[in-house]
Amino acid sequence: MHGSKYRSCGVTPLGLERLLGFRTQKPDARLPGVSRGVVKAISLCHSLLSERGESSGDRIASEALLAYQSLDGPSLGAFFNLLIQEFSPDPDKVGRAGEAYREEPSAANLARLQRVAEPPL
């Protein structure tokens, strides 16, 4: 099964540990399972979110899709795990901001909660 291959580099299939609230070691592009193709696809995802303009967005989206489609089975698992790590908000920050809003439901606390719940770019 492919799970042991991911665990050897700190990557779990589909990032299930992260989804369940457990932290894993951040993958490194030099480790097995995190290929240049994975890093390129994630980099294009970052660019897609930060880019303004329809034509450049379309071009980057096409490149990101091609990069994703070029990934094989092990690289796909690493891609999804890295995608979760790179684009998920910090659960501790969200929890603290949620608790602050629960204790004092002010506009400032709500704005903070909304800000920390956004995925990082």
Give the residue numbers spanning the domain of 30: 3-88
Q: Are 60 and 106 within one domain?
A: no
CA distance 16 to 33: 16
Q: Are 95 and 118 within one domain?
A: yes
Residue stretches of the chain with pLDDT short of 70: 1-33, 121
Per-residue pLDDT at 86: 86
| Closest alpha carbon to 11 in 32, 37, 41, 42 | 32
Q: Are 109 and 79 within one domain?
A: no
| Closest alpha carbon to 46 in 63, 30, 32 | 63
Q: Are 84 and 94 within one domain?
A: no
Q: Are 43 and 98 within one domain?
A: no
Residue matched to tokens 């629960």:
102
* Domain tally, the chain: 2
pTM of this structure = 0.59
Q: Are 8 and 57 within one domain?
A: yes
Per-residue pLDDT at 55: 80
Per-residue pLDDT at 67: 96
Residue matched to tokens 């910090």:
90
Residue matched to tokens 């790590």:
85
Question: Among positive and negative, which fits the CA dihedral 38, 44, 47, 49?
Answer: negative
Q: Are 57 and 68 within one domain?
A: yes
Q: Are 98 and 117 within one domain?
A: yes
Per-residue pLDDT at 33: 55
pLDDT in tens, 104-119: 999 999 999 999 998 7
